[in-house]
Amino acid sequence: MERVDSGAVPGTPTARLRLRLWRWLRRRGDWLRWGAGATGRSPWARGRILAALAALTAGLLAFHAAVPNTVGRFGSLLETFLPWLGLTVPLLLVLALLRRSAIALVALLLPAAVWGSLFGGRVAAGDGGAHDIMAVQHNVSDVNADPAGTARALTGSGPDLIALEELTPSALPVYEKALAPQYPYRAVRGTVGLWSKHPLTDVRTVDIRPEGVGKDWNRGVRARARTPWGDVAVYVAHLPSVRVQWRGFSSGRRDESAGLLGATLDAEKLDRVILLGDLNGTVDDRGLDPVTTRLDSAGRDFAFSWPAAFPVSRIDHVMTRSATVTHVRTLPATGSDHLPVAAGLTLNP
């Protein structure tokens, strides 16, 4: 019988591939075995730092309100991107597998469970079904090169209400002309405006100017919409921008403006209220508490709206009082750096 050399590779390509794969796995056998390693440490002793990071992630998710906002407003910064903290779970999972750490894998159940409790419903959220009113909110951008095209895009879904921010003197006539055939009623103050299929009355400016801002800064408007389901107070607001700087999160003016808006909403005499606007913050950000504690924030849908090129947060909102937001979704991109947000609303009796 002819002797076969143990180092020889069988002739068929499939056999050679299998043999090479087997040899590769044998050389990495130590990695595949989850017993004690060369140092004698068990999987329950390895990866304690990874386990601690998993516990820290769970703590930040569950108790983000405890992160102080006194210096640099780091609490608000964390809450602005809070859902993305969940990305640490798959990252730590890969590291735990490479480390062959059983304790880290078990610890990862904590942040995974907390994230699922906070945001799992938003992943599964979809069309909420029937609604009375459809509203669209959009920061159209003051450098939008195609306002006419933007207007056509917003009317495509057939909303009852359209709220626009960053209206410029040159673009406003374009929006008025494009929207007038379907939306004969409008209320514009400064750089914000509301277009409606239903009659609008009692239109007035909403003063949400932070201290030190000039009187020509008008970013709030309120109107009474006479709908088939009754009168509704509709607000359009554009809160000041925020910036991430080396000193932290510069949201002071935004927070002050949110306080003024919240006080105005508190004083509103109509039971039914709809707020449409670019609030420059997410529903998780405590800086918007004066608004989100008074209205239904519809936070169960992600509907990230900014920036349009790669949306990471929803700072464009549709909120209500004595009404229900059935669903929120984004519309296709326009010439703006924001995505339009559409929401279905039912008006409670």
CATH code (residue 255): 3.60.10.10
Domain carrying residue 285: 133-347
Q: What is the pLDDT of residue 23?
A: 72
Over residues 309-314, mean pLDDT: 96
Q: Is the pLDDT of residue 296 over 70?
A: yes
Q: Is the pLDDT of residue 27 over 50?
A: yes
Is there a single domain that holds both residue 156 and residue 288?
yes
Q: What is the pLDDT of residue 35?
A: 59
Is there a single domain that holds both residue 192 and residue 81?
no
Number of domains in the chain: 2
Whole-angstrom distance, CA of residue 55 vs CA of residue 49: 10
Helix (H) or strand (E) holding 249: strand 248-250
Q: Is the pLDDT of residue 63 over 60?
A: yes
* Last-in-domain residue among 124, 143, 166: 124
Over residues 49-78, mean pLDDT: 94
Q: Residue 11: how many CB atoms within 10 A of its CB? A: 7
On average, the pLDDT of the chain sits at 90
Is there a single domain that holds both residue 226 and residue 246?
yes
Q: Is the pLDDT of residue 36 over 70?
A: no
Is there a single domain that holds both residue 164 and residue 120?
no
Return the sign of the alpha-carbon dihedral for residues 62, 68, 69, 75: negative
Q: Is the pLDDT of residue 256 over 50?
A: yes
Q: Is the pLDDT of residue 5 over 50?
A: no
Q: How far is CA 78 from the centre of its chain?
A: 13
Q: Is the pLDDT of residue 3 over 50?
A: no
Cα dihedral: 110, 113, 115, 117 (round 10): -140
Is there a contact between 252 and 287 (Cβ–Cβ < 8 Å)?
no
b/e map 24-50, b = 16+ CB within 10 Å: eeeeeeeeeeeeebeeeeebeebbeeb
> Does residue 227 sit within a domain?
yes
Q: What is the pLDDT of residue 38?
A: 53
Is there a single domain that holds both residue 161 and residue 257?
yes
- What contacts 327, CB < 8 A, 6 or more positions away? 125, 126, 127, 128, 129, 131, 301, 343, 344
pTM of the model: 0.85
Q: What is the pLDDT of residue 1?
A: 44
Q: Is the pLDDT of residue 300 over 90?
A: no
Is there a single domain that holds both residue 94 and residue 75?
yes
